[in-house]
Amino acid sequence: MDTSSPRSNFIRDIIDADLESGRHTRVATRFPPEPNGYLHIGHAKSICLNFGIARDYGGTCNLRFDDTNPEKESEEFERAIADDVRWLGFSWDDRYYHASDYFTQLHDYAVRLIRDGKAYVDSLSAEDIRQYRGTLTEPGRDSPYRARSVEENLELFARMRAGEFADGAHVLRAKIDMASPNINLRDPTLYRIRRTEHHRTGAAWHIYPMYDYTHCISDALEHITHSLCTLEFEDHRPLYDWVLDQLPDLAHPQQIEFARLEVNYSITSKRKLLALVQENLVSGWDDPRLPTLKGLRRRGYPPAALRDFCERVGITKKQTTIDVGVLENCVREELDRSAPRVMAVLDPLKLVIENYPEGQVEDMPAQNHPKDESFGTRTVPFSRELFIEREDFMEDPPKKFFRLGPGREVRLRYGYLVTCTGFERNANGEVVTVRCTYDPATRGGNAPDGRQVKGTIHWVSAAHAVDAEVRLYDRLFDIEDPGSADDFRAHLNPTSMTVIADAKLEPSLAHAAPEARFQFERLGYFCADRLDHQPGRPVFNRTVSLKESWAKGNDRKR
C-alpha cells in the first residue's frame, strides 16, 4: 500500500485542531455500509478516507453494518462488502460490528426518551404523517397523538415491541419541533414496525430503529471521535446531535460531511444499478462495465489505483463530478509500474517467412518489463509461421504508415527484420496470408549494417499460440450524465463490450492465474477473468487501453 504523505484537507485540519487542543487524544472512525447491495466507486472514497485517517493518525476504524432494514439486507451483501474492503487493502482487525449488536441498547434508550417526554407513539398513517410534516416554506402541525401521556406511550411501545400491531399501525417519533425550518427535526421517526425476520436476529424483534437514530448511538457506543458522512447527511446533523444531547451519559462524536464521489459516464444509484442487473442489461453485479467494486475488480483495476484515485480527487465540501479519464489514468500509471509485458494478437493475420527454415523454432529472449529489470526475462518461441495484427498490414499503405506493406521492412519485436514480398486473398477478397523474407543477421531486431527501420510490430508463433477469448470493455453509457436522463437505459453504449473469440496469445499466458494482470504490448492492459478464465481456455478482460482514446474518434478497439 502507498505510504506516501496524504494530501491535507479540511477534515484532517479539524482532526489536527482537536488533537492539539486536547479535545481528543485519539482518533476513531468507522465505515458504516448498509448490507443491502454491492459497494461502488463512491464507497471507495469513504473507505479510503475512514480507514486512511485511522491509519495515518495511529487510530482505529471500525467496519459496522447498518442492518436496520431486514427486508432488503442479507448475509450475501455483508460478505461481499467485507471482501471489497479487504480487497482495497484495509483491515478492521477485531472491530467488526453491526447496528443489530445494539438493538437492546437502542430500545432501552428509546424507552428513556419516552420517559423523559422526548418521544411518543404516533398512530397517524404514513401519508398523514407526510401531510402533517409541512413543506420547506410552511411549518408542520402537531400530530393529534403528540400529547399522549408517558404511560400510554410506554404501553404502546411495549406492545409494538411484542408484535401486537401490523406494519404501519404505529411509529415512535422524537418530540422536537414541528415548526423547525429543518424538516429533519419535525418529530422524526425513531422506530417503525416491521414484522420481518432479520438475517442476524431472526424473529426476535418486531420493531426496527431508523438510520438517523441508530447511527449516532452506534457511533457513541463505539466511542467514535469523528463520524465522517457525505453531504446529503449535513441537514441530518442537528438530529444526530439532538439525540445524543438527550442521552448525556453517551459519548458525543463529531459528525463531519464531505462531498461524495461521482464519476461521469456512470451511475451509482442503487436503484438504477439494480435495474441494470435485474433487467439483464449487464451480466451481474460484477459486470466489468459497472462502477461496483466487484465489477472494477473483475475488469482488472488494481486496488492501489483506486486508492490513488481517491487520494487525487481529494476531500472537499463542493460536490463535483470527476472525469472517468482521471480514474483510467490512475489505473494506467499503476499497471505501467506493476504489469509484466507479453505479446498477444487480437485480430490475427497469418505471416509466413518464406526463407525461414521449416520446422525450426528459436527461443527469443524478451523483457518482462522494459522499465524494471527486477521483472526479469522470458523466452518466446519464433517460427516460420506467425500471427500478426491485421491492422499492421496494408496492401497499399500511405507514406507515413510504418508497418508492413508490399516491399516494406519492419522489425518483429524481439525477432528479426522482415520485408513483405506479397500476400494472398481468399474467395471473398480478404487478405488471409502475408508473405515475407527475413534477414538472418538481424536476430533481436537490430541491423548490423546500421540501417534504420521505423516500424516495430508484435507477433505470436502460430504453432505455439494459445487460443483465448478476449473481452474489450468500454464505457457503459454514451453520455456524461446518464443519471440525469429521462431513461438512462436509452443511453447504453451498444459497443461497451466486444468479445473476440479467436485471439492468439504467447504460450507464457497458458497458465496465467485468475486476476493476473498484463500489458499486451501495443494493445492495452488486460486481466485474466477471475471467474471464466481457466487452464486450456484463457479469458482476458481489457482493463484499460494504453492511452485515452474516447475523445479521439471513440476508438473502442485500441
Collect all residues with Cβ–Cβ distance below 8 Å to 420 and sequence separation of at least 6: 393, 404, 405, 406, 407, 408, 409, 434, 435, 436
Between the two ends of the chain, the Cα-to-Cα distance in Å is 30
Distance of CA 363 to the CA centre of its chain: 40
Measure the CA–CA gap between 35 and 407, rounded to whole angstroms.
Answer: 64
Indicate the burial class of 433 (C-beta count within 10 angstroms; 0-12, 13-18, 19 or more): middle
**SS3 of 511, please?**
coil
Q: Which residues are catalytic?
A: 34, 260, 270
Alpha helices for 339-425 (secondary structure H): none
Measure the CA–CA gap between 268 and 290, rounded to whole angstroms.
Answer: 9
**Would you say how long the chain is, in residues?**
558
Cell digits of residue 385: 509461421
Instruction: For cell 481528543, name the residue.
Output: 24
**SS3 of 200, please?**
coil
Listed residue (368, 339, 375) closest to 527, CA to CA: 339
Instruction: For cell 522499465, name the residue.
Output: 371
Contact status, residue 44 vs residue 306, Cβ threshold 8 Å: yes
Measure the CA–CA gap between 389 and 197, rounded to whole angstroms.
Answer: 58
* Sign of the alpha-carbon dihedral angle for 369, 540, 410, 377: positive
Measure the CA–CA gap between 157 and 169, rounded to whole angstroms.
Answer: 11
Name the helix (H) or strand (E) containing 76.
Answer: helix 75-88
Measure the CA–CA gap between 179 and 185, rounded to whole angstroms.
Answer: 9
Longest CA span, the chain:
102
Q: State how far the alpha carbon of 271 is from the alpha carbons of 41, 43, 208, 484, in Å.
A: 15, 16, 22, 14
**Phi and psi, residue 78, nearest 5°:** -65, -45
Instruction: For cell 521483472, name the residue.
Output: 375
Cell digits of residue 118: 422526548
Cell digits of residue 199: 438475517
> Per DSSP, what are the bridge partners of residue 418?
410, 438
Question: How big, in percent rounded to 5, are the helix, strand and coil portions of the chain?
Answer: 30, 25, 45
Cell digits of residue 154: 410506554
Measure the CA–CA gap between 137 and 60, rounded to whole angstroms.
Answer: 43
